[in-house]
Structure 1
């Protein structure tokens, strides 16, 4: 175990594995692949992607809550981002909240910091949680907009999530 991690974080991996498998299993059984949804093929590679994403998050001074936010963020990126129907996304949101509460004994609403309930992490080699969209603007710098003017584009949280997905 990495000595920089706190004991509360060092004890999390077995529970994270069980929670990840539970989410993966529920997604596979509730959202089967169909003719109109070939992208709903949630293979074992999804679990690998979830773990890889979690390992890319910076570890310095990480708390249990920081780790759980990173895990929830990765679960959203691996599973939720593929879901096209609003009802499927709402179902997944409920699944993730219930999993956090069942496996980690913390309310999901207490875990997410933003009022909108979204989690966002950014970076290149490793990444960290974004608590202010200004950080994303600063990282991107001035971006040209149509017409050639050098102005900072106004990013919504959805835009920032899309940019982060493309960067990864």
Structure 2
């Protein structure tokens, strides 16, 4: 018989839901349980605004107009995070639809990859923000209806939080001059279809 002495076991878990089952009290009685409350919007906004302000004013010497963009980027990130958490709920088939502070941080972290040389204008930072929001949320979605909802939400939220229409921001992609950048969504869908096809071909070849 194996005898274990002076063993400490640490474990982490999320609350039940989205495919996660509750843990029985009989099992939990062996642990000292520590819980951490989720950050509220004000706390997250304060933390990430400080990081973004440091990026545009101390780490790099961006123009002063970029500083005024910081609260708008943080507010738009919070809006997308809250809406995705409420509308893109986890199910057994979508158990990975779990959004937390890391997703919030990834968008701001992506914006912090910019430099005055790569993002010379405010609009460039806004386009980078769209790219990061799509990378963090859109790429995780598996249903066409969920993808459509997120894209439409970004189009609606843009004027409110970033003071510009999506069609105006991506006007350089309006190749047919119809003042509609639906081509942006088509390009995203085409890339996703190509990746899916590539994965299928790779799987069938193995």
User: Into which bin does the TM-score normalised by the smaller protein fall?
Assistant: 0.5 to 0.7
Equivalent of 2:173 in 95, 100, 114: 114
Deviation string 1:107-149 (CA, Å, 9 cap, x unpaired) is: 101112324125x9xxxxxxxxxxxxxxxxxxxxxxxxxxxxx
2:191 pairs with one of 145, 152, 158? 158
TM-score (norm 2): 0.56
SS of residue paired to 1:71: helix
1:50 alignment partner, one of 90, 107, 115: 107
Displacement after TM superposition at 1:8 (Å): 2.1
Equivalent pair of 1:8/1:63 in contact (CA under 8 Å): no
CA contact under 8 A between 1:19 and 1:103: conserved in structure 2?
Answer: yes
Compute the displacement of 1:157 (Å).
6.2
Structure 1 residue 98 corresponds to structure 2 residue 125: no
Structure 2 residues not aligned, in runs of 5+: 1-56, 175-182, 196-206
Question: Are the equivalent residues in 2 in contact too, given 1:109–1:117 (CA < 8 A)?
Answer: no
How many correspondences in the alignment?
A: 126
Give 1 or 2 for the bigger CA radius of gyration: 2
Indicate the structure with greater strand content: 1
1:40 aligns to what SS in structure 2?
A: coil
User: What is the Cα-based RMSD across aligned positions, in Å?
Assistant: 2.4
Note if 1:27 corresponds to 2:101.
no
The aligned runs of 1:1-168 (5 Å cut-off) are 1-2=57-58, 4-60=61-117, 62-112=120-170, 113-115=172-174, 116-117=183-184, 158=191
C-alpha separation in 2, matches of 1:35 and 1:86 = 17
> For the residues of structure 1 that align with 2:184 and 2:61, how far apart are their CA atoms?
29
C-alpha contact 1:9 1:62 (8 A) present in aligned 2: no
RCO (CA 8 Å, sep 6+): is it higher in 1 or 2?
Answer: 1
